[in-house]
Structure 1
Amino acid sequence: MRYLFFIIKRSLKRCTALTKSQTLLNLFKVFQRILKAYATKLFARLPRGGTGIVAAATGMDGQIRISERDERVICYIVNSAEYCHKTSGDLAESVSKIIDSQLADGVDMSEVQDEFSAVITKALVTLVLGLETKFDNEMAGMTRVPWGSLESVGDQSEYVNGINMILTSSIPVLGSLLSPIYFQFFLDKLASSLGPRFYANIFKCKHISETGAQQMLLDTQAVKTILLDIPSLGRQTSNAASYTKFVSREMSKAEALLKVILSPVDSVADTYRALLPEGTPMEFQRILELKGLKKADQQTILDDFNKHGPGTTQPTIAPSVVPAAPPAPPSSVIPNSASAGFITSREDVLTRAAALGRGAATTGFKRFLALTEAAKDRKDGPFRKLFNT
């Protein structure tokens, strides 16, 4: 690559010694075509995912399986394209200063630079897709855990360890080979993929009991810690603020989802509205299924949920200072003995949901916190990392 530009520069220098007119411009355009062809060659070296009818039928369409060697090659392609992008621009600037002024407008490498930019983008997206594919087994393993029959909360699950092993194997290499700007681009793409994917994967599980939700909440916190540690693994932490913010936000959604699953049945709708205000009726129904509610019980809660709508709070009783007598508010918001478990305001919902995190809602969650406190006293093990602040 560097030798290619050495030849180009030497040829242009020899040409300028003879002429600075149309011949120089023609030679410049020849090298434009050569550089575009080189960009095409780089693009062709990138690993490709499954295509065609068979790939689509087996769920392999778009998946990219890459080895550690492939990851290195992709990084080399990114670096080559980055060098070509910069050097071709510098080359055009130099020639435009030498060539006859009336021909200077024809000296342009913007199309060539666009080609190399496309290679860089495709290469980094390929890296992300490759890592995504590596996580397939771990995501499938998460759905196979018997969340509905777990008897106790323990250390982080095996699929979490698998995610950690994949990242600790790949990220240090990528961080050492990619420049900071492109490693940051890679991080942003990775964050926009893994967080939402983990959230969606929770819905692929079957019944989740209270103990199962507690264990999954522990796993979620562990995965969040692992993802937040990626910039440090890559030894590039200077520009990781946006990545950290995005990961925290996306994984907090998963934590909120599990707190909804942990909430009592009589307040699950209000907790869902408060913690996941952008949720949908279809998603809420799936949460009821995850909680193991029977169809008849689900329908009663769904009817009330649909009546008030997702992401909304129920109206409060009008203050007594209003001159005209207000119409009677819906009975569902009037606290009485029949509806003592109902939450009447967003603040109450948030307080109650927060109580889940403190272990105040159920004795099961208190047992969970007791386990985590005991884990703090351990001298080793991945579980301890969650509580070292």
Structure 2
Amino acid sequence: MPPAVLADACLVVEALGLPTRREFVDLFCSDHLETYAELFDPRKSPSASAAAAAEAAKEATAPKPSFKIKIPTGSSHGSSSMFDDDEDSRPAASVNQNPSSLDQVDRRYAWYRRTLRDVFDDKFRAVFPRGWNVPHALTSRFLSVTGDHLLLLLAPGRNCRDRDCENVTVLLKALQKTILFEKEMTAWLTREYGAAFAEAAKEGADEFDDEDNIGGGGGADGERLEFDEDGRAVAAGSAEGIRIKYERMKRERAERGGEVDGDDEEEDEPAFASGPDKAVPVKPLVGIASSSFDRYMGPYIGLEEQNMDEQLAESTSDMAVDTRGELPVFTSSTALFVYIKNSITRCTALTRGRTFYQLYAAFQDTLKKYASVLGGKLPSRVTTATGVNLGVSINLSAVGGGASGVGGGGGGVGGGGGTSGGAAGGASALVAYRIPEGEEVTVCHVIDTCEYCADTVEALEDLIRDKIDDDYKDKIDMTGEQEAFHDVTARSLRVLVSGLEVRTNEALREMSSKNWATMDSVGEESAYVRKVHGAVQPFVATVRGLIPPSYFRNFCDKYAAAFTSGFYNSIVRLKRISESGTQQLLLDVYNLKTLLLKLPVIETDKGKGKSSSSPHRGRGTDHSSAGSTIPPAMYTKMVTRQFTRIEILLKVVGTPPDLLIDVFKAHWEGGSALDLQTVMNLKGMRRAEQAAMLEKFGVDPETAAKGAAAGAAGSNILNEGVQSLQDKTSDVSAKVNSELSQMREKVDNFRKAFR
């Protein structure tokens, strides 16, 4: 039958209405894909396919409604294809023993390409109206059937499951070929038939309605309408409506190709190559078949996880540092993020849906593991049985205020730095970290690497959110991974503080073992002060040259609070201090105070050429430039406050007994009876003298006598006070941590709101 006659027949189908047209297109697609199902359905063995082909050949003479018209022998495609549409030329199973397997997926697409040439190049190219979108309907149906076949090959528990479905190479090649074929068909339909594809996930659901895809339209109630010459609406399904529509289409054909008479219609090129109806957007093809892989990409995700785990294993012992960037970081961190970026590129080239989301989850797990790897590079803990000289904060005025009710909130001397010092001391009283010589550089590199990773994770989160499908965008959140690196950073800073404390402990032990009661003269600074200088200066200079300024400031704050607290603790544990001893200690305190005030601006000893700061000497030089040689005002205020309470303690201890009460009340604002008793113990006063002083201070005689009697057991009272303070500090620390967590959550929510 000539194509022009078939084109006119399509007009009749069009006139019969949407249901008829839909049924016609559906039958056309099913008819031409029947052979495909017989050849490539995984549920059919090769022998079953051969048997089906033989049976179909026997029944070829039986009348059967079909659109598969014969191609003349001279056709360029009619007899050359092994997969020709002719039933009698269907190939035997022996030629292709298992065409349905994953590693043979490209044979499916080769078969369809040949089918397209036969159907549209040689038979029906100029037959169907453009608005019917028949090539798209056939291709979409083919991809849908292919997707069902792929699910049978991939789903577990199926007898027809492909043995290579766990083979990552076969799986990825099959997926890649499927995606390439979907894109190829999209380009072919656009080029040859002017198909207009709507953007996936952005068009309304109605735009993808079947009625629209094959050329619908109608009145408010959904009924199709035609209009006569007078403009009156006529039901399209009525005899009058069919006549009006047929005449309208004939006029439109004539306007494009000239007047057409019934006698010469066969000589005219059918008008529906471009179609009388305006083209409507059709569903995208990409994803129809390839989406079947999404739920079964576990082997691919497993391979990516295995590769990242291997990198993690290597990074555990890899101490190489990359000094080319702003921060000196472990090369393993940059290598890991390079791999993650390449992994994203590989995955998004294939899919941006479920598989990409699973890969994102694998990234999360790997990054948390890497944070643990960085934490493992820190020195091991050294547990301590006592808080002596390890930074335990003893705020005597706070303890005294709680014990006796005298002095209110602890006064200006003890109340100023007791909380921060107690927080630091509470942590270091339980554990300490001994940093071997030079290993502080490694701790600094851990801090820098964590900072780099936290910043890069934020950028990675934005990258994944931009690339992943819309259904998963709201699920992308890597705050937990950032927090993991921030936690390691905080622990590293505690390690630096504790490590420097441990290095200065020997000097404080030397101070504690010295007999200050027999000292009768004052000289230059004591030997233990020089040891503190020798331990602190190179350590701090190295740290300053390696970590970001904000972290270095935090380190200085924590160490200054911990050192002054530990130093105060060492003084109150001395048995007795002479007047000359207090003068010597005041000189030492001034020297140590000067050292700590310069802590934030301390410089590397250029004469020694300290090598530990060389990996990042550039930033250290910037810190010592003009304008950075003055310590921050808040830091200066904090250090001054901490040393003031030590100075007041020593000045009161050096006061003659007859002036003790007056000087104590004048200088120790809010001082309690327990504070006074501590001073008297350091002065070496006898019990009777202590009792008299307590009565003069305002304590009743009975309580004063008990307090004086307890002077010999003052260490027990002191320990009880320290324990009470540590309990309070733990509560304060827990509250602060809770508030910080809430603040972080609010900041994260604020940041997300502006994405």
TM-aligned CA distance change 1:65 to 1:278, over 3 Å: farther
Q: For 1:50, what is the secondary structure of its paired residue?
A: strand
Query: C-alpha distance in 1, partners of 2:369/2:477?
Result: 16
1:43–1:119 contact (8 Å) kept in structure 2? yes
Matched residue, 1:244: 636
Q: How does 1:55-66 map to 2 (within 5 A)?
A: 56=385, 62-66=431-435
Q: In structure 2, which of residues 663, 667, 671 is the aligned counterpart of residue 271 of structure 1?
A: 663
Q: CA deviation at 1:140?
A: 1.1
Cα deviations across residues 299-330 of structure 1 (Å, max 9, x unaligned)? 1101222439xxxxxxxxxxxxxxxxxxxxxx
Where does the alignment leave 5 or more consecutive residues of structure 1 unmatched? 309-389
Query: C-alpha distance in 2, partners of 1:20/1:204?
Result: 67
Q: How does 1:66-215 map to 2 (within 5 A)?
A: 66-215=435-584
Cα deviations across residues 120-154 of structure 1 (Å, max 9, x unaligned)? 00010011011111111111111222222222111
Q: CA deviation at 1:101?
A: 2.1
Cα deviations across residues 178-204 of structure 1 (Å, max 9, x unaligned)? 110111111111122111221221111
Query: C-alpha distance in 1, partners of 2:338/2:577?
Result: 63
Query: C-alpha distance in 2, partners of 1:169/1:146?
Result: 30
Matched residue, 1:227: 596
Q: Does 1:43 align with 2:375?
A: yes
Query: C-alpha distance in 2, partners of 1:242/1:71?
Result: 26
Query: C-alpha distance in 2, partners of 1:176/1:83?
Result: 17
Q: For 1:63, what is the secondary structure of its paired residue?
A: strand
Count of residues in correspondence between the two structures: 305
Matched residue, 1:14: 346
Cα deviations across residues 57-109 of structure 1 (Å, max 9, x unaligned)? 89895132112322111111111111111101110012112222221111111
Identity fraction in percent: 35
Where does the alignment leave 5 or more consecutive residues of structure 2 unmatched? 1-332, 389-428, 604-619, 701-755
Query: C-alpha distance in 1, partners of 2:557/2:360?
Result: 37
Cα deviations across residues 328-355 of structure 1 (Å, max 9, x unaligned)? xxxxxxxxxxxxxxxxxxxxxxxxxxxx
Q: Does 1:27 align with 2:359?
A: yes
Q: For 1:259, what is the secondary structure of its paired residue?
A: helix
Query: C-alpha distance in 2, partners of 1:70/1:23?
Result: 42
Query: C-alpha distance in 1, partners of 2:589/2:697?
Result: 27
2:537–2:602 contact (8 Å) kept in structure 1? yes
Matched residue, 1:339: none
2:364–2:478 contact (8 Å) kept in structure 1? yes
Cα deviations across residues 248-272 of structure 1 (Å, max 9, x unaligned)? 1101111111111122322322322
Q: For 2:382, what is the secondary structure of its paired residue?
A: coil
Q: In structure 2, which of residues 683, 708, 714 is the aligned counterpart of residue 291 of structure 1?
A: 683
Query: C-alpha distance in 2, partners of 1:248/1:296?
Result: 36
Matched residue, 1:305: 697
Q: CA deviation at 1:239?
A: 6.8
Query: C-alpha distance in 1, partners of 2:434/2:538?
Result: 15
Q: CA deviation at 1:7?
A: 0.7
Instruction: Output the TM-score relative to the length of structure 1.
Output: 0.74
Q: For 1:133, what is the secondary structure of its paired residue?
A: helix
Q: For 1:135, what is the secondary structure of its paired residue?
A: helix
TM-aligned CA distance change 1:273 to 1:13, over 3 Å: farther
Matched residue, 1:217: 586
1:32–1:112 contact (8 Å) kept in structure 2? yes
Cα deviations across residues 264-301 of structure 1 (Å, max 9, x unaligned)? 32232232233222434223212112112221111110
Q: Does 1:255 align with 2:647?
A: yes
Query: C-alpha distance in 1, partners of 2:476/2:538?
Result: 45
TM-aligned CA distance change 1:68 to 1:210, over 3 Å: same
TM-aligned CA distance change 1:24 to 1:132, over 3 Å: same
Query: C-alpha distance in 2, partners of 1:28/1:275?
Result: 62
1:171–1:230 contact (8 Å) kept in structure 2? yes
TM-aligned CA distance change 1:37 to 1:191, over 3 Å: same
Which amino acid in 2 is paired with 1:175?
Answer: R
2:598–2:631 contact (8 Å) kept in structure 1? no
Query: C-alpha distance in 1, partners of 2:488/2:561?
Result: 20
Q: How does 1:339-378 map to 2 (within 5 A)?
A: none
TM-aligned CA distance change 1:67 to 1:252, over 3 Å: same
Larger Rg: 2
TM-aligned CA distance change 1:83 to 1:136, over 3 Å: same
Which amino acid in 1 is paired with 2:575?
Answer: K
Query: C-alpha distance in 1, partners of 2:672/2:497?
Result: 29
Query: C-alpha distance in 2, partners of 1:150/1:266?
Result: 22
Instruction: Output the TM-score relative to the length of structure 2.
Output: 0.39
TM-aligned CA distance change 1:208 to 1:229, over 3 Å: same
Report which of the two has the higher share of helix.
1
Which amino acid in 2 is paired with 1:283?
Answer: D
Root-mean-square deviation (Å): 2.0
Which amino acid in 2 is paired with 1:24?
Answer: F
Query: C-alpha distance in 2, partners of 1:203/1:86?
Result: 45
Query: C-alpha distance in 2, partners of 1:132/1:298?
Result: 35
2:381–2:431 contact (8 Å) kept in structure 1? yes
Query: C-alpha distance in 1, partners of 2:386/2:576?
Result: 28
Which amino acid in 2 is paired with 1:27?
Answer: L
Q: Identify the range of structure 1 (152-161 vs 59-68) with the bigger mean alpha-carbon deviation.
A: 59-68
Q: Identify the range of structure 1 (57-66 vs 110-119) with the bigger mean alpha-carbon deviation.
A: 57-66
Q: For 2:591, what is the secondary structure of its paired residue?
A: helix
TM-aligned CA distance change 1:252 to 1:57, over 3 Å: closer
Q: CA deviation at 1:46?
A: 1.4
Query: C-alpha distance in 2, partners of 1:117/1:58?
Result: 27
Query: C-alpha distance in 2, partners of 1:156/1:93?
Result: 57
Higher relative contact order (CA 8 A, sep 6+): 1
Cα deviations across residues 341-376 of structure 1 (Å, max 9, x unaligned)? xxxxxxxxxxxxxxxxxxxxxxxxxxxxxxxxxxxx
Q: CA deviation at 1:245?
A: 1.6
Which amino acid in 2 is paired with 1:265?
Answer: P
